[in-house]
Amino acid sequence: MQVKTNSLKAWVLASRPKTLAGAVAPVLVGIAYGVFTTATAGAAGKTGIVIVPSVLCILFAVLMQIDANFINDYFDWKKGADKDGRLGPERACTQGWITPGAMKKGIATVTAVSFLIGLPLIYYGGWPMAVVGIFCILGAFLYTTRLSYLGFGDIMVVLFFGIIPVFFTYHVIIWRGLDFPYMLSLEGGGNSGAAALGYIVFGWIPLLSGLAVGLVTDNLLIVNNYRDRTQDAENGKKTLVVRCGAKAAEWVYLLNGVFATVLCMLSCGAFRIFRYGCLPENIFPFHLVVPLLFLPFLFATHRKMIKINHGKELNAVLGKTSRNILIYSLLFVITITLTALPVWYNG
C-alpha cells in the first residue's frame, strides 16, 4: 500500500477505524439507560442535559480509543514487536507511514484534546469524572507499555470498554437530568434519602450491562491474540491465549458472547421489574428475546475463527467481530427502548 508519510491517509490508518466500534458500543448502551431513567423521572424535556453529555461521552470514548491505538503503534515499534512476519493489520510507524516523532506529537495532541473534551463532564457528573478521565488516560498508556504483556489485557478491555463507559455515561446523564446535586444536598431535604436509594437500586444495572458489553468487546482482543499467539509467545507476551491455549480461547470467544446475551436479558428484565413490580408479564416480557438475534452472528463468526485457525486470514474474523459488537450494542439499545416505551406512554 502506497501511503505518503505523515499524510491524512496515514493518520486515518493509524487510528484503526475498525476498532472504534468497541469505543462507541458501551457509550450507546449507557446513553440508552440514562435517557430511559431521566424520561421515566419526568426529565425528558431537559434535552440539553441529555444530548450534551451524550455527545461528549461519545467524543471522549472515540478519542481515547484513537489515543490508545497511537500509543500501541508507537511503543510496539519502539520495542520491535512489529516484525516483518506480522500477521495483523500493518502499523503506521513500522511501515514508515508516520514518523516516530510525529506519532509522539500525535499522542500528545489527542491526549490533550481528550482532556479538554472530558472537562465539561465534570459539570455533568461531578468531581468523580475527573478521576475517571485521568484513570482512562493512564490506562491507555499502561495497557500497551506493561499490562498487555502481563496478561491483563482482557481485564482492561472489560473494564475500559464495558463497565466504566456504560456506568459513567449513565451517571453523567442522570446526575443533572435528575438534579442529583440538589437532591443529595441539605437543600434537598427529605428527597435526599430517596434519591440516594434510587441511585443505589438502579445503578447496579448499568454496571451489569457494562460487564456484558465488555465481554462482547473482549472478543476483539481474543481474535487478535488468537491470531498472534505464536509471535506473542516468542516475544514473551503472556496473553490469555498464550497462557491457556488456542482451544480455550475459542471457547472463551463463544462463551463471552453467550454470557453477554444472557446478561443483556437479565439487566433489561431487572429494570422492568424494578419499575413495574414482579408481575407475570414483567418477569419475562416479550422484548427480552431481541438480544437472542445476536447469537447467529456470534456462532457464524466463531465457526469461521475455528476453521481458519491461524494466519492473516483471521483479520477477516477481526472485522466481523467488530461488526458483531455494533450489532450487539444496537440490539441492547433496542431492548432498553422497548423496556422504556410503556413508561413513556403511561407518563
| Domain presence at residue 75 | yes
Residue 321: band (very low, low, confident or very high) from pLDDT cuts 50, 70, 90 = very high
Q: How many CB atoms lie within 10 A of CB 165?
A: 32
pLDDT attached to residue 347: 42
| Domain presence at residue 16 | yes
Whether the CB-CB separation of 112 and 76 falls below 8 Å is answered with no
| Domain presence at residue 44 | yes
- Residue 71 — φ and ψ, nearest 5°? -60, -45
The average pLDDT across 89-116 equals: 88
* 96-100: long-range contacts, CB 8 A cutoff, minimum separation 24: 96/5, 97/3, 97/5, 97/6, 97/7, 97/10, 97/13, 97/14, 98/5, 98/6, 98/10, 98/11, 98/14, 98/73, 99/5, 99/6, 100/74
pLDDT attached to residue 284: 59
| Domain presence at residue 1 | no
Whether the CB-CB separation of 29 and 333 falls below 8 Å is answered with yes
| Domain presence at residue 136 | yes
pLDDT of 219 above 90: yes
**Range from 162-171, 195-204, 265-274 that averages highest in pLDDT:** 162-171
| Domain presence at residue 314 | yes
Helix axes 8-15, 47-79, angle to 10 degrees: 100
Residues 6+ apart with CB under 8 A from 79: none
Domain range holding 67? 8-346
pLDDT of 345 above 80: no
| Domain presence at residue 292 | yes
pLDDT attached to residue 300: 96
End-to-end distance of the chain based on CA atoms, in angstroms?
Answer: 57
Dihedral-angle region of residue 284 (phi above 0 means left; psi in -120 to 50 means alpha; beta otherwise): beta
| Domain presence at residue 2 | no
The average pLDDT across 178-195 equals: 48
In percent, the amount of the chain with pLDDT more than 90 equals 29
Nearest of 134, 127, 93 to residue 111 by alpha carbon: 134
Mean pLDDT of the residues in the chain: 81
The average pLDDT across 123-131 equals: 86
Q: How many CB atoms lie within 10 A of CB 338?
A: 16
The CA distances from residue 320 to 19, 206, 330, in Å, are: 11, 26, 15
Total domain count, the chain = 1
